[in-house]
Amino acid sequence: MAEAVKAAAARQLPAFKLGKKQVFLIYRPNHVITMLRKEHLPPNEACFKVPLRFTKFDLRDYLWNLYGVEVTTVRSYVKQQPLTQRSTSSRSWYRPQPHKIMTVELAKPFQWPDAPADLEPWSNDLWRMREETIERRNEEQLARQRMQIPLKSQQPLPKEREQLGELAKKMLSGEVKWENNVVLDPKWDRILGREKAGKSTETTTTS
Amino acid sequence: MSMAAAPSALRASSGCASRLGSSLRNGSRSNLFLAATPSMRAAASFSTTAPQCKRKTKDGNKRRGVSSLYGSGPREPLSVSNAPLPKPVEFKPKIEVDESHGLWGFFPAPGKLLLTPKETEEHGRAWTVEELRRKSWEDLHALWWKCCKERNMLSTAREELLRGKFGFGEREIGARDEEVTKTMRAIKHALTERFYTWQDAVEVAKSDPEINLEAGEGQVYTPSAYEEGYDEIAAEEGASRSTDGEPKETLR
């Protein structure tokens, strides 16, 4: 590969001065460079997330030697990260390492490929359902931590209670008659003598 | 003073009118706000005297209270206040990228954004140290940079997966990345072993009478006389099975 790279360099050199250090011989560089999609950038610019120690010259030579991409200008900034909790249970907070973002101007313009239209291979529906569930649970927990426990009266009614309410409405309107098919003790006849007489007639009609 | 103020500029114009209240003593206040009817417009006093329209500020600063930061705008309606501002055209040049562009190296294939989880899973195992020991420096060098490119591609895919909220697939990317990392670790292992072997060889060469490390290029190895008769000695050794240490010394 070294011969191939040398041959390529001899064939066509970039407009800038290349570095001469043999990095693989000494350092075995294992940096991970991430290309970022930035909608606001024109096609002749590309954005990368690089390790914090990277310099502009590093990225310029890296892109040339590894990808054969010629770069005219490099701009860089370090993006501070927000304070983060170590875990939800602990009260320990820390500031994560910042990201270094570099924007390069390309000699040849580049257009990002379109996002896939069909998200079925990624099980998008299932994933979205899971995300929603997680978010709802997190919100509930946050509300509980803030002692914002909703009152029983403000919570939505459970299904059984709704069914019970509907049944009660039907009974009040006379649509459904109450009946538990229990034979009462004869001593109750004296207490609800008249009503029992009426009821017995009704039950006979219904049954 | 113009009476037909636009609704958007009503606040400013009414403020201006209240400030000019003293100069419009002959016209009543109701006159000011009913000026839209044509009959009243004829009756309203009209003045084109510029100094009377001028804002009175404490230090004569025309721009007092006007801030571009807070979007306060000018205090008086201007001649262009009613004209809608021109909007920049939504123009994004769509360019054709040929397949030989180097930045396609950050993607699985030219024109393809990222692999599906199933495609990501379709990879082999990492190279083992035993396999890499017999590879040349050039091979290991090339494989190392291939691994770097693969990791860059996977990292870009992960970033895009999270940004676009496509769904599952992060675990598969992580597993593939781990496999590439194992290969890189094996390359380091093989090269470190090779370095230690070289160090040992240098130590042995120092005690070897046939090797002079201080000599110049091409004169390090000075074989002694028995090198010419090596074949005969070996033949004799094979015939007699004698335990002679000298040939073994040269073989080491």
For residue range B99-132, what is the model confidence (pLDDT) as tens digits?
Answer: 999 999 999 999 999 999 999 999 999 999 999 9
Domain of residue B182: give its range. Answer: 105-207
What's the total number of domains in chain B? 3
Q: Is residue B92 part of a domain?
A: no
B174 touches chain A (CB under 8 A): no
Give the torsion sign (CA, B59, B61, B65, B68): negative
Which long-range contacts does B193-201 make (Cβ < 8 Å, 24+ apart)? B193/B129, B193/B133, B194/B133
Q: Do A122 and B95 touch (CB under 8 A)?
A: no
Q: Which residue did the predictor score with more confidence, A184 or A132?
A: A132
For the cut 80, the answer to whether the pLDDT of residue B28 exceeds it is: no
Same domain for B228 and B142, yes or no, is no
Q: Is residue B28 part of a domain?
A: yes
CATH number 3.30.70.330 is the correct assignment for the domain at A2-106: yes
Across the interface, of A68, A110, A115, the residue whose CB is closest to B113 is: A115
Q: Do B95 and A111 touch (CB under 8 A)?
A: yes
Same domain for B163 and B213, yes or no, is no
Q: Are strands A93-94 and A71-79 parallel, antiparallel or unpaired?
A: unpaired
Across the interface, of A29, A113, A123, the residue whose CB is closest to B113 is: A113
Same domain for B176 and B221, yes or no, is no
Q: Do B93 and A43 touch (CB under 8 A)?
A: yes
Same domain for B200 and B213, yes or no, is no
Chain A residues lying within 8 Å of B145, measured CB to CB: 1, 24, 66
Same domain for B127 and B160, yes or no, is yes
- Average pLDDT taken over every residue of chain B: 77
Same domain for B203 and B221, yes or no, is no
Q: Is residue B96 part of a domain?
A: no
Parse chain A into domains and list their residue ranges: 2-106
Same domain for B167 and B129, yes or no, is yes
Question: Read out DSSP for chain B?
Answer: ------GGGHHHHHHHHHHTGGGG-SS-HHHHHTTTSHHHHHHS-----HHHHS---TT--TTTT--TTTT---SS--TTTTSPPPPPP---------TT-GGGGGSSBTTB----HHHHH---PPPPHHHHHTS-HHHHHHHHHHHHHHHHHHHHHHHHHHHHT--S-HHHHHHHHHHHHHHHHHHHHHHHHHHHHHHHHHHHHHH-TTB-TTS-TT-SB---GGGTTHHHHHHHHHHH----SHHHHHH-
Same domain for B202 and B112, yes or no, is yes
Average pLDDT over every residue of B156-168: 96
Instruction: Give whichever of A198-202, B111-115, B241-245 has the largest mean pLDDT.
Output: B111-115
Q: Which residues contact A62 (CB under 8 A, 6 or more apart)?
A: A31, A33, A54
Q: Is residue B200 part of a domain?
A: yes
Same domain for B199 and B217, yes or no, is no
Average pLDDT over every residue of B39-51: 59
pLDDT value of position B242: 42
User: What is the rounded distance in angstroms from the CA atom of residue B244 to the CA atom of residue A96?
Assistant: 67
Q: Is residue B231 part of a domain?
A: yes
Q: Do A122 and B166 touch (CB under 8 A)?
A: yes
Average pLDDT over every residue of B36-60: 62
Same domain for B114 and B181, yes or no, is yes
Chain B residues lying within 8 Å of A29, measured CB to CB: 148
pLDDT tens column, B171-199: 999 999 999 999 999 999 999 999 999 99
pLDDT value of position B99: 92
pLDDT-based confidence at residue A4 (cuts at 50, 70, 90): low
pLDDT value of position A178: 84
Across the interface, of A1, A37, A116, the residue whose CB is closest to B141 is: A1
pLDDT value of position B232: 59
Q: Is residue B61 part of a domain?
A: no
Instruction: Find the closest chain B residue to A49 by CA distance.
Output: B156
Please give the torsion angle defined by the CA atoms of residues B107, B108, B113 and B118, in that order, rounded to the nearest 10 degrees: -140
Same domain for B140 and B160, yes or no, is yes
For the cut 50, the answer to whether the pLDDT of residue A206 exceeds it is: no
Q: Is residue B74 part of a domain?
A: no
Q: Which residue did the predictor score with more confidence, B200 or B229?
A: B200
User: What is the rounded distance in angstroms from the CA atom of residue B187 to the CA atom of residue B126?
Assistant: 11
